[in-house]
Amino acid sequence: MTTIKRVFVAASITLAALIIYQWGHIDGREGKPSIVIAESIAVSSSVPSTVKARERDYYSPNSEDLKPDEMRVIACGTGMPTTRAAQAAACFLVELGNGDKFLFDIGSGSAERISSLQIPYDYLDKVFIGHLHADHFGSLGELFIGGALMGRQKPLRVWGPNGRAPELGTAYAVQKLKEMYTWDLAGRVGLVDFRGYSIEVNEFDYTAENAVIYQVNGVTIRSFPAIHSLDGPVSFSLEWNGLKFVFGSDSYPNKWFVKYAKDADLVVHECFVAVPDLVAKMGFTPEQALVVGTQIHTAPEAFGKIMQEIKPRMAVAYHFFKDFDTTAAINDRIRTTYDGPLSLAEDFMVWNINKDDIRVRMAVVEEHTWAPPLASKPALPQKGDTEKYSKGMNVDMKSMGYSDFIKQGRWADVDEANRGIYEEASKALGRKFEYPSQ
């Protein structure tokens, strides 16, 4: 071994020993490394500190306050009508520094993504639906019923377009959804806090151009027509505090989008699966793939063309299956027509937006979640709930409950076991819970 090599090896061993020694002497009380260890890190950048580990580049829900001038957008669904575990269908959550939150589309599977964010459901009471394809509102029922169960103590409010006939509008779809849940609702009314089990619909004219459909608390949401499948679909813009978010829902490239999304901060527009993949992976014929991939939806090249015109601070492409063998092709095709800032969205991608910066990260979420914290106090069922909520339903909910036939099927032997649970609760909480008479 040469002298130089010997010196190098000796220095390395000494440094390693110093680091190992000092690593064991981090001041546990403060949770911070000592000054000595900080010097060691300066010598060897390969040794992480606990502080550094906390600053990893991900978003952990409920761990960051939004600044008063900041907007946060979270993708809660970026996929397709063909369902898959890896991606829910269309849904984007917008959170503002003033505390307001808005959902744009509520596609199949997205309610599960939303629940992972552990946001109190009272704050998730506003949903804007761009069009009535299942992959854009398939989870509305889950947000309606499940959201109430998990603590929404106010009606769910839905905004969506009308159509060329009453049966093609949002109000009709929501009324039928509510009717679909007649049995579900009838089984709960009178037993639980029922304030969250109602839906308000705000249907607006799909042909209105850049029309204000919501304006509260400094937030303005506008609608403009989209071109997709049938008359009816719309796109939305949300403006607040000098920031502009645009959500396309689904649309073939159109003049309204180019006009009203121009220069926005974050622009979300569909970017459909590339035509060759529609044939190879989805079993389309070439003829079908060409029509669906370029005429009904927006091809990656067309997405790029729109963004090159709009020049957003960040272009967000969604509505394709983002896999190891599809992402590069989508990117390459977009880049034939667009060279600006780009996010290829996937579920739980997060954008923090202020006037100076757009930070893009992924959220790291908990899958085994329970109900999130409550934002308002729960209440016992109110007298008159049944009459109040029976309105607009096709059955008289007052006549609900078990028939004598079903009542007679109760197995009395289980009462003793159940009584024990009542006694346990009475003891634990210091008040008497009476076992119901059968």
- Residues of this chain that interact with Zn ion (CB under 5 A) are 133, 135, 250
Sheet of 234-240, strand order:
211-216, 219-225, 234-240, 243-247, 266-270, 314-318, 342-344
Q: CB of 197: closest distance to Zn ion in angstroms?
A: 28
Is residue 210 within 8 Å of residue 238, measured between CB atoms?
no
Among 319, 329, 316, 318, smallest CA distance to 276 is for: 329
Task: For Zn ion, give the closer residue by CB, 108 or 386.
Answer: 108
Query: Smallest Cα–Cα separation from 247: which of 263, 266, 232?
Result: 266
92 touches 113 (CB < 8 A): no
Q: Which is nearer to Zn ion, 119 or 271 (CB)?
A: 271
Q: Amino acid identity, residue 5?
A: K
Query: Which C-beta is closer to Zn ion: that of 131 or that of 188?
Result: 131
> Is beta strand 101-104 parallel, antiparallel or unpaired with respect to 314-318?
unpaired
* Identity at 189, one-letter amino acid code: V
Closest-by-Cβ residue to Zn ion is: 133
CA 184 to CA 155: how far, in whole Å?
16
E strands in 180-313: 199-204, 211-216, 219-225, 234-240, 243-247, 266-270
CB of 297 to Zn ion, least distance (A): 8
Q: Are 207 and 225 in contact (CB under 8 A)?
A: yes
Q: Which of residues 133 and 333 has its CB atom nearest to Zn ion in the complex?
A: 133
CB nearer Zn ion, residue 133 or residue 269: 133
* Nearest residue (CB) to Zn ion, 71 versus 302: 302
